[in-house]
Structure 1
Amino acid sequence: MRTPRPASGLRLLTPLSLLTAAIVISFAFQPQWSTIPLMLVLVGIGGGRSLFREENWQPADDITTLRLGLFLIFTALVLDSVGFSWPAIAVGAAALILDAGDGYVARRTTPTSAGAGFDESVDALIVLILSVALIPVWGWWVILPGIFYYLFRAALFLRPAWRQQLPPSLRRKTIAASQGILLLAAGSPVALANPWFGFTCAVIALVSLVYSFGRDLLWLEQHAGIPTPAHAH
């Protein structure tokens, strides 16, 4: 098996520039010593492994990087606050809209498994950031949607037989896409003014994700003896 090699330094100029700009802007909003280390940790979680890959860096990966950078700025905007301001909502919404953009570009250029993994990691990080940011509003239970993905990844080490290719599912894609929208709405000024609305959005996000993961885990367990390439939720 070949050792993964770093992507071309020249090709990484755009994503590294985007992430550097996002960190600088984040520091401008939160000029504290802890801001830069926090942003670097988020970059590592969302995109660290994507820099070491066999496949070439693709245009869709630049869009995914932009989404990651926008959520670094979103994080800076919501630190030390209860709920999300309208500027934070605008930044978060732009990142969620771009989620459709990287998929569109990938399908029309050269999609790669590494690019799909990068997109998946950023999606998971976005849900985690939103969930953590909602704790001051709704309590610790709302972090659950944000940690499901990471719990699943950890479970793969205990249950390697779950490393299966899940069948395509429009329901799964819809639920995954709705998480960011629901959680962003749950912390919006509208939700703060109408707690029933925000609470309902957070509950729907959690219940739908529990259903989706539960359904997929049941399928994985039923097909645990079939060796297929690993594919995360």
Structure 2
Amino acid sequence: MAVLVLVAMLVGLGPVGSLVGLGFTAVTWVLLSRSLGRSGGHRWGPADTITYGRLILTGGVAALVADAATGSVHHVVLTGLAAVSLMFDAADGQVARRTGATSRFGARFDMEADSVLALVLSVYIAIHLGWWAVLMGLFRYAFIVAGWALPWLNAPLPPRMSRKVVAASQGVVLVVVSAGLLPTAVAQICVAVSLISLCWSFAVDIRWLWLQESSRRRLPAPSRAFAGAGHSEPVLADPVSDLLVVKPATT
């Protein structure tokens, strides 16, 4: 609410932007409270506070994007909020590791904060570049919808540096293009290249998950039972109700 009031004082917010900002606040609060209740006694730490701060800034961005859809564009404030949120993306993970407070909840929280910011910014650039650009923010959400029909897509993924690089570059491209400093043709090329890299990254993950599923199916039933007994609960087993929306991440 403080961010929304500050944005309204700086540039003004129309009724649509105000409603979207309030709705974002309410939905985030409800889902986050529910997730904390399901986290098995997770202790809120400094890293969680940083991630929550990023999510709060994204709420201000969402309100400005809604205003932009009605014709009120405020590049500087919108890009500033998004850039600060993006800069703190690396901070919450570092703080969690240095304070020994890494957790399933924290990793998922960070992941969803990234996804929501990407979705909001992709809607914003789509206003200027064409609605095809919104695909930048829809990849993970489309992935989880596919996971409802193909449960093997919900298996946990191993860490992969290229996935982190693609995700980081996606955030940079979204913020730079949102600033409106690039010519339209250059901005479209940057977004197209980022989309291609996202397609490649998701294709690599889907192939890995498919190979794992194929290997599991080839095992005899007793072997599958024995193999399953030694595995812990998947890190991201519940794609919808764990946190804000989806899994797995490109980060």
Q: Give distance in 1, aligned partners of 2:126 and 2:188.
A: 12
What's the counterpart of residue 242 of structure 2? none
Any idea what the Cα deviations from partners look like across 1:88-136, whole Å, max 9, x if unmatched?
2222111100001001101112111011111111111011001111121
| Counterpart code for 1:30 | L
Count of aligned positions: 212
CA contact (8 A) 1:84 1:188 kept: no
| Counterpart code for 1:188 | A
Q: Which runs of 5+ in 2 are unaligned?
A: 217-227, 237-247
What's the counterpart of residue 214 of structure 1? 203
What's the counterpart of residue 56 of structure 1? 43
What are the within-5 Å matches in structure 2 for residues 61-100 of structure 1?
61-81=48-68, 85-100=75-90
- From the superposition, tell whether residues 66 and 189 of structure 1 become closer, same or farther in structure 2 (CA, over 3 Å): same
Q: Give distance in 1, aligned partners of 2:27 and 2:3.
A: 12
What's the counterpart of residue 30 of structure 1? 13
Structure 1 or 2, whichever has the larger Rg, is 2
CA contact (8 A) 1:46 1:122 kept: no
What's the counterpart of residue 4 of structure 1? none
Q: Give distance in 1, aligned partners of 2:189 and 2:33.
A: 34
Q: Give distance in 1, aligned partners of 2:166 and 2:153.
A: 21
Q: How far apart are residue 174 of structure 1 and its match?
A: 0.8
Q: Give distance in 2, aligned partners of 1:161 and 1:200.
A: 34
CA contact (8 A) 1:183 1:205 kept: no
CA contact (8 A) 1:86 1:189 kept: no
What's the counterpart of residue 125 of structure 1? 116
Q: Give distance in 2, aligned partners of 1:146 and 1:49.
A: 24
- The secondary structure found in structure 2 opposite 1:80 is helix
Single out whichever of 147-156 and 119-128 deviates more from structure 2.
Answer: 147-156
Q: Which runs of 5+ in 1 are unaligned?
A: 1-19
CA contact (8 A) 2:51 2:113 kept: yes
- From the superposition, tell whether residues 186 and 120 of structure 1 become closer, same or farther in structure 2 (CA, over 3 Å): same
**CA RMSD after TM alignment:** 2.4
Q: How far apart are residue 230 of structure 1 and its match?
A: 4.6
TM-score (norm: length of structure 2): 0.76
What's the counterpart of residue 172 of structure 2? 181
Percentage of pairs with the same residue: 33
